[in-house]
Amino acid sequence: MDHNPEFLNLVNGIKGAVTECSIEDYLLWKSEHKTMVLVDVREDGEWSNGHAPQAIHLGKGVIERDIETAYPNKDVCLVLYCGGGFRSAMAADSIQKMGYSNVTSMDGGFRRWLELGLEVQMP
């Protein structure tokens, strides 16, 4: 997908302020039994077409509104993903500003997940 230049400038500025991981990093942490929550921040329709196993859905449009109810402990380890890594970086930046201290954005997102041939769960 081609993105507009100002959107890319915005995201690139945000990416410098958030921690990012690769899917391989996430899979390693999972194999090491690291306690974390995988959060899909994509739109409802994207979620309905399949998502990473064990992910919870808090779309980018509502995550700031609902995160404190879902995870009141602001030290919880949250790994966010979207389609490619842009919306998850933006969501990570927002919830960090709300006091969450252990937030990571998954670079490559669900498109990379699919490219790697990883398991997909249907709702």
**pLDDT higher than threshold 80 for residue 1:** no
pLDDT for res 97:
96
How far apart are alpha carbons 104 and 113 in whole angstroms? 16
pLDDT digits (tens, 9 = 90+) for 28-43: 999 999 999 999 999 9
Angle at the Cα of 7 from the Cα atoms of 64 and 111, rounded to 5 degrees: 75
Tell me the percentage of the chain whose pLDDT exceeds 90: 87
Query: Could you say which of 3.40.250.10, 3.40.50.720, 3.30.70.20, 3.40.50.300 is the CATH number of the domain covering 5-115?
Result: 3.40.250.10
What are the extents of the domains in the chain? Answer: 5-115
Sequence-distant (6+) residues with CB within 8 A of 13 are none
Indicate the pTM of the whole model.
Answer: 0.94
